[in-house]
Amino acid sequence: MNKPIRDWTAQRVWIIGASSGIGAALATQLLQRGAHVAVSARRAEALQALVADHTEARALAFDFTDDDAFARACDELFRTWRGIDLVVFCAGAYAPMRAWQLDANDIDRMLDINLRAPMAAAAQLIPRLLKQGSGALAFVSSVAGFRGLPKAAAYGPTKAALINFAETLYLDLAPRGLSVFLINPGFVATPMTAANDFEMPALISPQQAAEEIIAGFGRGSFEIHFPRRFTYWLKLLRLLPYGLYFALVRRFTRL
């Protein structure tokens, strides 16, 4: 569906949200495969540590929700690299939340980081990539965006909207030569999921997640979802009528 990416030698990759978790693991593995990688996040020290031993890597620290800061970083990369082959949006915010715990400040934070910022960044990148005549965008969403789930009252809707956005971009951009990837992980052991107070089924490491993502890029898949022993069950649940879906979710989550 997308142009497969198998040879990473000298590929120009920008990973946003790379100071820890999936983003950091993906940056490390792509550097090992010979890619030129730029990493961005707010924590400059973590980014510098990540790229310290790689002359082909760049660290650009900024707040992803600051559109002007994103524009400056984008200008710098296009000026230095003469183009970008792949941008991966890994930045995310999460707070477990039941309906009676809804908090306006947390809602605004998750909407801003998980949805508004990627959309605003795509608005800046797409004209450049179309002019370039090639390139790819990859959005890290979540299986929490498939259907409503307990403790995801604010997080889930932001990821559902991001899934919809990636699907829409694919329909518009694939005929014009650009690739759009949608990445839907299950539970990955990151600082973000450390906030969960429940057992996370099929939990995997950030390194395993990065391997799955790279394999998905190699297949040219639109959707890259993992671990499949977990995500296929959630995909099946998407097909069920509401009555059966709600009953099964309550039974298995005990919430």
Q: Give the CATH number of the domain where residue 216 resides.
A: 3.40.50.720
Q: What is the pLDDT of residue 199?
A: 87
- Give the pLDDT score at 214: 98
Q: Report the distance separating Cα 191 and Cα 17, nearest Å.
A: 12
Total tally of structural domains belonging to the chain: 1
Assigned domain for 220 exists: yes
C-alpha count within 13 angstroms, C-beta hemisphere, residue 161: 15
- Residue 185, pLDDT score: 97
Taking 90 as the threshold, does the pLDDT of residue 128 lie above it?
A: yes
E runs forming strands in the chain: 12-16, 36-41, 57-61, 86-89, 136-140, 179-185, 223-226
Query: What per-residue confidence (pLDDT) applies to 196?
Result: 86
Cβ atoms < 10 Å from Cβ of 94: 24
- The band of 195, judged by pLDDT with boundaries at 50, 70 and 90, is confident
pLDDT computed for residue 152 by the predictor = 95
Q: Give the confidence band of 168 by pLDDT, cuts at 50, 70, 90.
A: very high
Question: Virtual CA dihedral for 216, 7, 52, 80, nearest 10 degrees?
Answer: -110
Q: Please report whether residue 5 resides in a domain.
A: no
Lowest mean pLDDT, pick from 48-57, 138-147, 235-244: 48-57
Q: What is the pLDDT of residue 63?
A: 97
Q: Could you give the CA distance from residue 87 to residue 253 in angstroms, rounded to a whole number?
A: 35
Say which residues have a Cβ less than 8 Å from residue 131's Cβ, sequence separation at least 6: none
Q: What is the pLDDT of residue 132?
A: 97
Q: Write down the pLDDT at residue 116.
A: 98
pLDDT for position 105:
97
The predicted structure's pLDDT at residue 55: 86
Would 170 be classed as within a structural domain?
Answer: yes
SS3 of residue 139 by DSSP: strand
The residue range of the domain holding 109 is 12-253
Using 50, 70 and 90 to split pLDDT, how confident is the model at 93?
A: very high
Residue 104 lies in a domain: yes
Mean pLDDT of the residues in the chain: 96
Whether residue 3 lies inside any domain: the answer is no
pLDDT at 197: 83
Give yes or no: 245 in active site.
no
Q: Which residues contact 125 (CB under 8 A, 6 or more apart)?
A: 74, 84, 87, 135, 137
% residues pLDDT > 70 (the chain):
100
Is 163 part of any domain?
yes
- Give domain status of residue 6, yes or no: no
Q: Residue 67 domain-assigned?
A: yes
Confidence at 198, pLDDT banded by 50, 70, 90 = confident
* Catalytic, out of 94, 155, 170, 242: 155
Q: Write the pLDDT tens digit of every residue in 39-84.
A: 999 999 999 999 998 888 999 999 999 999 999 999 999 999 999 9
